[in-house]
């Protein structure tokens, strides 16, 4: 059976970045902490610290007990973001990226020509060498390859650290027997309990269960998918969550300039970001669309680590804006922005710390003021000049959530 999917996961990401940029930390047990405080937890640990049992979530006091020599390093979110961007561009130089899954993890479809173990291994060597070259020799990764994304993720976990691990269909199910139920994506504490309630305590029992049994335990289609994934089949879960949030705007005559459209985009992003936060979502991508008087249209998108932070959205927009053609003959008459790759807030993990806690306080305060005193009571300066105009609805077929525009 073909190896269709590849998952790449950087090893001990935050800790490795710290060791890469600070040679004195290399080869030493270190842990990254969000703030200097005895009551905080480690958000990452180096492979040297892992040997002592210090891992993500270990409290600082316990980390010191387990490893008296441990060095605690305060986190540098903007540095991690920079390495994340270098990671994704290094990866993209080797293979197209299907999705960025988190700050240190990405998913790729293997092209047909690379779906055999030997070819996949050669590609993985190339990816590893490129990452070493572009990010530094202390940033290592583990690559998992399998017939589907679910198994590729497991393979990347099983190959850690600095590994390459293949799960072929012929390896199933025995290659999974050493795992615990909780190692499987989609089996959290509650699902583990439900499985146990139905007599499934181990992975061999899980892989031997019938599709009907799993369907029953999951209470729906999720169980069917788990069964197919465990067989090495490709099946995608139907979208169950809201996919995009966006706004669009026909420009009033006064704003049909490059500066005008820029300021409208700022306002639309601020408005959509507030809505995103209210709905309890994070976004990991932004599309901007500009329609011109001569019917030419421009659109571009950018992906980033999931966030709710207006500052980061506006920064991402400025990156897109630099790609907008400078031609003076282009007269914009409508624009729209859309956040995509939405993730429910409770499913978002460590990259949360990329948001400066002061930003969070600030935009929460901005949201509260706008809610109490009316929209645009307070706003980020980029929107200045576009606030007095009431948006009109426009049917952009390219922006799928037009019904939410307001």
Between 9 and 405, name the residue whose CB sits nearer to Mg ion. Answer: 9
CA 6 – CA 8 distance, rounded (Å): 7
Between 8 and 383, name the residue whose CB sits nearer to Mg ion. Answer: 8
Q: Do 26 and 138 meet the contact criterion of CB atoms below 8 Å apart? A: yes
Q: Do 391 and 247 meet the contact criterion of CB atoms below 8 Å apart? A: yes
Size of the site for Mg ion (CB under 5 A): 4
Q: Which stretch binds Mg ion (CB under 5 A): 28-36, 98-106, 171-179, 349-357?
A: 98-106
Between 1 and 343, name the residue whose CB sits nearer to Mg ion. Answer: 343
Q: Do 395 and 402 meet the contact criterion of CB atoms below 8 Å apart? A: yes
CA geometry: angle 332, 338, 341, nearest 5 deg = 150
Q: Which helix (H) or strand (E) holds 82?
A: helix 77-92
Sites for Mg ion among residues 232-261 (CB under 5 A)? none
Residue 5: strand, helix, or coil: strand
Q: At what angle do helices 310-321 and 258-279 cross, to 10 degrees?
A: 150
Which residues are CB-contacts of 242 (< 8 A; sequence separation ≥ 6)? 279, 281, 342
Between 104 and 405, name the residue whose CB sits nearer to Mg ion. Answer: 104
Among 38, 48, 74, 105, which one carries the catalytic annotation?
105
62 is catalytic: no
**CB 256 to Mg ion: min, Å:** 47
Q: Pattern of binders to Mg ion over 174-213, x per CB under 5 A?
A: ----------------------------------------
Sites for Mg ion among residues 12-51 (CB under 5 A)? 13
Instruction: Rule CB under 5 A: choose which of 5, 9, 157, 309 binds Mg ion.
Output: 9
Q: Pattern of binders to Mg ion over 50-89, x per CB under 5 A?
A: ----------------------------------------
Check residue 405 for interaction with Mg ion (CB under 5 A).
Answer: no
CA 48 – CA 289 distance, rounded (Å): 47
CA geometry: angle 209, 143, 191, nearest 5 deg = 30
Which residues are CB-contacts of 105 (< 8 A; sequence separation ≥ 6)? 7, 8, 9, 10, 156
HSE toward the beta carbon, residue 113, CA cutoff 13 A: 3
Q: Which stretch binds Mg ion (CB under 5 A): 7-15, 48-56, 89-97, 313-321?
A: 7-15
**CB 136 to Mg ion: min, Å:** 16
**CB 19 to Mg ion: min, Å:** 14
Between 10 and 67, name the residue whose CB sits nearer to Mg ion. Answer: 10
Instruction: Rule CB under 5 A: choose which of 5, 18, 48, 104 binds Mg ion.
Output: 104
Between 143 and 209, name the residue whose CB sits nearer to Mg ion. Answer: 143
Check residue 157 for interaction with Mg ion (CB under 5 A).
Answer: no
Q: Which stretch binds Mg ion (CB under 5 A): 103-111, 241-249, 254-262, 313-321?
A: 103-111
Check residue 5 for interaction with Mg ion (CB under 5 A).
Answer: no
Q: At what angle do helices 77-92 and 117-135 cross, to 10 degrees?
A: 140
Between 8 and 245, name the residue whose CB sits nearer to Mg ion. Answer: 8
- Please, what's the b/e burial string for 311-330 (b: 16 or more CB within 10 A of its CB; e: otherwise)? bbbbebbeebbeebeeeeeb
**CA proximity to 42, closest of 20, 62, 16, 17:** 62
Contact residues: Mg ion, CB under 5 A: 9-10, 13, 104
Give the active site residues: 105
């Amino acid at each position: 059976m073909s190896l269709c999917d590849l998952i790449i996961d950087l090893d001990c990401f935050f800790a490795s970045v710290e060791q890469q940029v600070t040679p004195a930390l290399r080869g030493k047990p270190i842990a990254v902490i969000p703030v200097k405080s005895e009551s905080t937890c480690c958000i990452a640990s180096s492979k040297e610290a892992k040997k002592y049992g210090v891992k993500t979530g270990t409290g600082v006091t316990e980390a010191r007990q387990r490893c008296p020599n441990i060095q605690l390093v305060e986190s540098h979110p903007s540095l991690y973001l920079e390495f994340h961007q270098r990671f994704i561009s290094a990866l993209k130089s080797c293979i197209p990226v299907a999705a960025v899954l988190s700050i240190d993890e990405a998913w790729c479809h293997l092209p047909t020509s690379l779906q055999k173990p030997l070819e996949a291994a050669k590609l993985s060597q190339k990816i590893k060498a490129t990452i070493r070259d572009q990010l530094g020799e202390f940033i290592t990764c583990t690559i998992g390859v399998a017939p589907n994304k679910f198994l590729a993720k497991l393979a990347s976990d099983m190959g850690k650290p600095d590994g390459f691990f293949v799960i072929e269909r012929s390896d199933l199910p025995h290659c999974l027997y050493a795992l615990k139920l909780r190692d499987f994506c989609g089996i959290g504490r509650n699902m583990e309990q439900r499985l146990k309630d139905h007599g499934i305590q181990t992975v061999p029992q899980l892989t031997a269960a019938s599709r009907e049994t799993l369907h029953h335990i999951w209470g729906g289609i999720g169980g069917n998918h788990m069964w197919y994934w465990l067989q090495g089949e490709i099946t995608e879960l139907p979208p169950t969550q809201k996919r995009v949030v966006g706004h669009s705007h026909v420009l009033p005559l006064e704003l049909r300039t490059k500066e005008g459209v820029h300021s409208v985009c700022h306002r639309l992003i601020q408005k959509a970001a507030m809505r995103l936060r209210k709905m309890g979502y994070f976004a990991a991508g932004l599309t901007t669309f500009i329609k011109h008087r001569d019917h030419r249209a421009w659109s571009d998108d950018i992906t980033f680590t999931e966030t709710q932070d207006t500052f980061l959205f506006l920064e991402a927009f400025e990156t897109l804006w630099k790609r907008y053609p400078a031609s003076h003959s282009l007269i914009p008459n409508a624009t729209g922005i859309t956040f995509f790759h939405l993730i429910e807030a409770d499913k978002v993990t460590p990259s949360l710390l990329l948001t400066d806690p002061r930003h969070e306080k600030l935009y929460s305060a901005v949201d509260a003021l706008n809610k109490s005193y009316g929209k645009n009571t307070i706003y980020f300066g980029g929107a200045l000049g576009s606030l007095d105009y009431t948006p009109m609805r426009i049917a952009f077929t390219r922006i799928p959530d037009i019904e939410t525009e307001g």
